[in-house]
Chain A
Amino acid sequence: MESNLPNNRRIVIIGIILLIAVIYITKLFTLQVVDNKYKTSASSNVLRYVTQYPVRGLIYDRNNKLMVYNEAAYDLMVIQKQLDAFDTADFCKILDIDKDFLIESLKDAKIYSRYKPSVLIKQISAKTYAILQEQMYKFPGFFTQTRTLRKYPDSIAAHVLGYVGEVNEKNIEKEKYYKSGDYIGASGIEKSYEKYLRGEKGVNVFMVDVHNRIKGSYDEGRIDREAVPGKNISLTIDAELQKYGEKLMGKKKGSIVAIEPSTGEILCMITAPTYNPGLLSGRPRAKNFRKLQIDTLKPLFNRALQAQYPPGSTFKPMTALIGLQTGVVKPTTKYGCQYGYHVGNFSLGCHGHPSPLNLIESIQHSCNAYYCHVYRNILDYSSDAGIVANYTKWRELVMSFGYGKLLEIDFPFELKGLVPPASYFEKLYGNGWNSLMNVSMAIGQGELLVTPLQMANFSATIANRGYYYTPHLVKDIQGDDEIAPKYTVKRYTKVDSQYFEPVVQGMYDVVQGGPGSTARNARVDSLDICGKTGTAENPHGENHSIFIAFAPKDNPKIAISVYVENAGYGTTYAAPIASFMIEKYLTGKVKRKWYENYIMNANLLNVEKKD
């Protein structure tokens, strides 16, 4: 290319460089010499940013009953650089701490920063605060900052509400909003709705001289900002029902989840054993947390969302529905049962009941043999495509009910259970596997794992005759008019709604039928409860007692799952517990007092081994 370009190009470039240099120097001149805004007379004046902490949003239940509120607390802060000699004995006496602790804490604060304020003692009481405030002038370098503590009027629903903890380095790195010492929702609703509950921090900027005296507002308060309080949240939880359920489960391990089928709103989510949420608020949190952590009953474990159990016989309605959908049975199809299902050397036992039974009766009597027939028909005959394809189809239908996948509830740490893919069995049994090998899946045993939430959702899906709404815990956020659209979408299963009626009838007969029905003890007059018992075999000890139910049969208001660990048959504990919960929710009180007392007082916490 041309080796000698027009000179004016070079001149333009030089011109731009010089022009920008002149602009910058002019700007620096105004900034450093002309404008006095950035300068103050003393050479070492600094600004102090006093953070204004917003009030955290309150949490209400579905009936506007207060579940979480705030109480003021005070943090004692220190700025290393501004410390001067002070009477440590006096200081320790006021705060009721020992000297070694003070020295250690000051050392930690120094490592954090010599110039920035850091928390020396968290949440000192209002009384101590009052005394300290009067004597503050004696302790240069210290000041107090107001914070709020979470309080729980009823001490219920610890797992739902979650707790608020101090931010860790990961939080700070992930979001610049948080500074060391800030609080953040660490679990439960406090975590998943942190953005709404926390509000927005504000700041006051003061000019401070070397002696830590405030000289006034910087720039006439023009850059100060008010804190924006957090938004209040209304949960879908019914506090009364939650409280009652926690009482029922007080001496048991397991979970209760109830859902309103017509909205997907979670009415209660009980995990047992639970703990008092107040334990994880304020200064004793760390100590109590460790204590709860080493408790062998695992009270911190949120069974409702994270325990993955075999569904047991509560799965039979699913097998029935898929049998109907794939056309391998009709409601009138009958199978005989001679105390179990016997093929060659294979035998799967059943209890005594009339035989043969049709589909509706098979649910009513919870016949194992019937479901072995149906399951094997699905895998062998639902199409000519072979067992892998038929099993895969079966799995697809099961998963359309929310089993084996995340329901995507508005809550952290949900688990998805397990509905193994066909490849699992290929690996386990080789290519020639057949439907007899995993026939125990038919009755909810074997590899199947589900969470109590998924079971309640399954119950709600049957109640709705074929669809569910994504279960959720928040009904309303102050200032937000609409609930998230994902909670108002009907999620249809891959089973047509016409097939649900016989299954509902079967579940109705489980509770309302004649002698031999499996859960007659769950009957409450005029409430039309439909249910299904389950008893999950537990290789480690006593069986688990399970019950899913909904009521009333038509236009259902509540669907529920109850799981009681090591409690024997489904009908023994889970069925009456479910019926009490439904009665409580629908009528406001439970009439069968002696039975209620008997169940409530039964202690099943330490039943581990079979007798």
Chain B
Amino acid sequence: MRRKINLYKNIDWLTITIYLVLVLMGWFNIYAAVYNEEYNSIFDLSQKYGKQMIWIIAAIVIIVVIMLIESRFYAFFANPLYFIMLGLLITVLLFGTEVNGARSWFAIGSFRFQPGEFAKFATALALARLLSSHNFKIHEFKNILIIGALIFVPAGFILLQNDTGSALVYASFIIVLFREGLSAAFVLLGVYAALLFILALTIPLIYILILIFLVSAVVAFIYFHDRRDVIKGVFGFLLIIGLIFLANLLFFDFSIIIVLLAAAVVFSVILIIRAVVFKYRFLFAIVGITFGALSFTYFTDYFFENVLEEHQKSRINHLLGIESDPLGAGYNVNQSKIAIGSGGLSGKGFLQGTQTKYDFVPEQSTDFIFCTVGEEWGFVGTTLVIVLFVVLLLRLIFLAERQRSSFSRIYGYAVVSILFFHIIVNIGMTIGLAPVIGIPLPFFSYGGSSLWAFTALLFVFLRLDASRLELLR
């Protein structure tokens, strides 16, 4: 049951307007950020601003092509596209060119292309296709594994390319899963993990152990039928700690951490025996949560010490306030804050910024483009940009919710998730609220690959939305 629709009438012009405004603002700010007196025309093709104009024109061509393709195509080809993208990611890992330490580029002559940017788009389509398939139950164990693989395989390849920032973007799909009914417990578990990750790096292990025990006790307190049992359990646990502590004092000389862990093991064995005897499965969950959290803490420590590169470590350390190093990792953020802060309420005016132009701010046309907005347009400019992004996101959520096809709705939320993650991390890092992980500001940052990828991501959704009345599924 299909009706032909009028594209022109059904497309969402509000979103397109916001898109165009953001792209043009980006272009002007790139012009201001790398302004060169000797090549002062914004159309000068030897400069970044001239090139960005070409990327914008190419993006418009991409939009037209996307609009001309039938909307069914995207759902139909979601999986093939996903696998082609995986192939490209493997190829770039083997034959790609290294830029700034990340092996994530194909270089053909002077033209460079980053397949990782398009991987988000392909993953979003494939995820939408998977979740919208007939009779798909999100909480079946098998399905959780499939979802995990679908998201983490491309993220893993991108991590191998040494592009940690782009790999972290995939974590944002949790928003899609949450919207599609993933239990809030999973999300809380994610928050718990993030909290442990940060704490593992900032506070001594002993406090984390105590925190983990407390959380487990609280969970037990909330979910248990008989709360007196929980109180008994807590006292029992304290008693075991006391006994082992005394034994340690008399016979051995282990650290207090070992004592606590030993107590946890002993207590867990008792709990598991009770769980088996009384057939009370919830006790397993409590033991699982506790030991899951413990091993996660150790894993974090290991990951931080052995997997992360020196510069990534110091950036995280800097953000967490463990390290203060104005010339090293903190240099970028400090300069960026000075640039934005010096803009004041209304900014210094177009092309009047000194901090960004004097090369004090690094990557001022790509990752730190928001500094130029802050310096030249002040608080008014930065607020306007944030408001524009918020309106765009809310509009996209509205559009997603009005879809009849669950494929379109899920894809819409995937678009929201990716954009949202990019926006908060990119803006956050320039004002010191997020670690510097080097991902572009959508539609704003200089660069063909990222502009085209975000354009394709957004306009495929607008194309689906324009045909929302076609599909009655």
B433 touches A23 (CB 8 A): yes
Q: In the assembled complex, how far is the CB of residue B373 from the closest CB belonging to chain A, in whole angstroms? A: 10
A201 touches B386 (CB 8 A): no
Contact (A176, B311) CB under 8 Å given A24-B433, A28-B383, A43-B352: yes
B352 touches A20 (CB 8 A): no
Cα-based distance from A440 to B133 in the complex (angstroms):
77
| Contact string against A for B residues 328-363, beta-carbon threshold 8 Å, 1 for contact and 0 otherwise | 100000100110111111001000101101111000
Q: Determine the chain A residues whose CB is within 8 A of the CB of B205 once the complex forms.
A: none
Q: Determine the chain B residues whose CB is within 8 A of the CB of A32 once the complex forms.
A: 340-341, 343-345, 374, 378-379, 382
* A9 to chain B: closest residue by CB: B179
B359 touches A225 (CB 8 A): no
B294 at the A/B interface (Cβ < 8 Å)? Answer: no
Q: In the assembled complex, how far is the CB of residue A603 from the closest CB belonging to chain B, in whole angstroms? A: 52
Q: Determine the chain B residues whose CB is within 8 A of the CB of A86 once the complex forms.
A: none
- CB-CB contacts below 8 Å: B299-347 with A: 311, 324-328, 334, 337-338, 340-345
- CB-CB contacts below 8 Å: A16-42 with B: 17-18, 20-21, 23-25, 27-29, 31-33, 35, 37-40
Cα-based distance from A203 to B397 in the complex (angstroms):
48
Q: Determine the chain A residues whose CB is within 8 A of the CB of B389 once the complex forms.
A: 21
B334 touches A223 (CB 8 A): yes
Cα-based distance from A31 to B338 in the complex (angstroms):
9
* B329 to chain A: closest residue by CB: A176
Q: In the assembled complex, how far is the CB of residue A2 from the closest CB belonging to chain B, in whole angstroms? A: 7
B424 at the A/B interface (Cβ < 8 Å)? Answer: yes
B181 at the A/B interface (Cβ < 8 Å)? Answer: yes
A9 touches B359 (CB 8 A): no
A10 at the A/B interface (Cβ < 8 Å)? Answer: yes
Q: In the assembled complex, how far is the CB of residue A505 from the closest CB belonging to chain B, in whole angstroms? A: 53
B393 touches A17 (CB 8 A): yes
* A21 to chain B: closest residue by CB: B390
Q: Determine the chain A residues whose CB is within 8 A of the CB of B181 once the complex forms.
A: 1-2, 5, 9
Pick from A44-52, A242-250, A304-312, A472-480 the stretch touching chain B: A44-52
A63 at the A/B interface (Cβ < 8 Å)? Answer: no
Q: Determine the chain A residues whose CB is within 8 A of the CB of B337 once the complex forms.
A: 31, 38
Q: Determine the chain A residues whose CB is within 8 A of the CB of B394 once the complex forms.
A: 14, 17
Specify which of B178, B326, B382, B424 is in contact with A20 (CB 8 Å cutoff): B424
B138 at the A/B interface (Cβ < 8 Å)? Answer: yes
Report whether over half of chain A's contact residues are helix, strand or loop; otherwise say mixed. mixed
A424 at the A/B interface (Cβ < 8 Å)? Answer: no
A429 at the A/B interface (Cβ < 8 Å)? Answer: no
B227 at the A/B interface (Cβ < 8 Å)? Answer: no
Range, interface on chain B? 35 or more
Q: In the assembled complex, how far is the CB of residue B119 from the closest CB belonging to chain A, in whole angstroms? A: 23
- CB-CB contacts below 8 Å: A443-472 with B: none
A25 touches B386 (CB 8 A): yes
Q: Determine the chain A residues whose CB is within 8 A of the CB of B97 once the complex forms.
A: none
- CB-CB contacts below 8 Å: A176-226 with B: 176, 201, 203, 205, 223, 225
Cα-based distance from A184 to B390 in the complex (angstroms):
49
A49 touches B327 (CB 8 A): yes
B193 at the A/B interface (Cβ < 8 Å)? Answer: no
A116 at the A/B interface (Cβ < 8 Å)? Answer: yes
B274 at the A/B interface (Cβ < 8 Å)? Answer: no
Q: In the assembled complex, how far is the CB of residue A27 from the closest CB belonging to chain B, in whole angstroms? A: 5
Cα-based distance from A120 to B381 in the complex (angstroms):
40
* A39 to chain B: closest residue by CB: B342
A113 at the A/B interface (Cβ < 8 Å)? Answer: yes
* A205 to chain B: closest residue by CB: B326
Cα-based distance from A37 to B431 in the complex (angstroms):
14
Cα-based distance from A94 to B389 in the complex (angstroms):
59
Q: Determine the chain A residues whose CB is within 8 A of the CB of B357 once the complex forms.
A: 115
- CB-CB contacts below 8 Å: A94-139 with B: 113, 115-116
Q: Determine the chain A residues whose CB is within 8 A of the CB of B338 once the complex forms.
A: 38, 47
Known pairs A10-B179, A25-B383, A116-B358. 11 more at Cβ < 8 A? A1-B138, A1-B406, A21-B386, A23-B433, A24-B431, A28-B340, A32-B374, A33-B379, A44-B354, A113-B359, A223-B334
Q: Which residues of A contact B (CB under 8 A)?
A: 1-3, 5, 9-10, 12-14, 17-18, 20-21, 23-25, 27-29, 31-33, 35, 37-40, 43-47, 49, 81, 113, 115-116, 176, 201, 203, 205, 223, 225
Can you list 15 A-B contacts (CB < 8 A)? A1-B132, A1-B136, A1-B137, A1-B138, A1-B406, A10-B397, A18-B390, A31-B431, A33-B344, A38-B338, A38-B341, A39-B341, A40-B342, A115-B358, A205-B326
